């Protein structure tokens, strides 16, 4: 079931950073988030509830204005494939 609070999220395993986009459009990065917390967040039946209980207030964070580079690269690649298939 889609979350009513969280639009999407991305985890950078090497940097241990969790990027979260809320339905409001605001984007944040949470630092030093363990991989097992990300996995539990991904598997949670209520991502908003899990976020409020296990992430918010537990990790340093900052608001960001653009997506992480890896996410951008993936998005461009998918777009390029769709464009190429129309030719």
The pLDDT tens digits for 41-62 are 999 999 999 999 999 999 999 9
Tokens linked to 8: 């999407």
- Exposed/middle/buried for 10, CB within 10 Å: 0-12, 13-18, 19+? middle
pLDDT the model gives residue 4? 80
State pLDDT tens for residues 5-46.
Answer: 999 999 999 999 999 999 999 999 999 999 999 999 999 999
The distance of Cα 26 from the centroid of its chain, to the nearest Å, equals 11
Is residue 41 within 8 Å of residue 18, measured between CB atoms?
yes
Q: What is the pTM of this model?
A: 0.72
Domain boundaries, the chain: 6-86
Average pLDDT, the chain: 82
pLDDT the model gives residue 82? 41
């Amino acid at each position: 079931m889609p979350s009513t609070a969280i639009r999407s999220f991305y985890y950078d395993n090497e940097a241990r950073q969790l990027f979260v986009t809320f339905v409001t459009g605001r984007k944040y990065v949470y630092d030093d988030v363990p991989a097992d917390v990300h996995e539990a967040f991904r598997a949670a039946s209520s991502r908003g509830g899990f976020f409020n209980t296990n992430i918010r207030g537990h990790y340093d964070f900052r608001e960001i204005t653009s997506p992480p580079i890896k996410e951008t690269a993936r998005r461009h690649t998918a777009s390029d494939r769709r464009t190429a298939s129309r030719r």
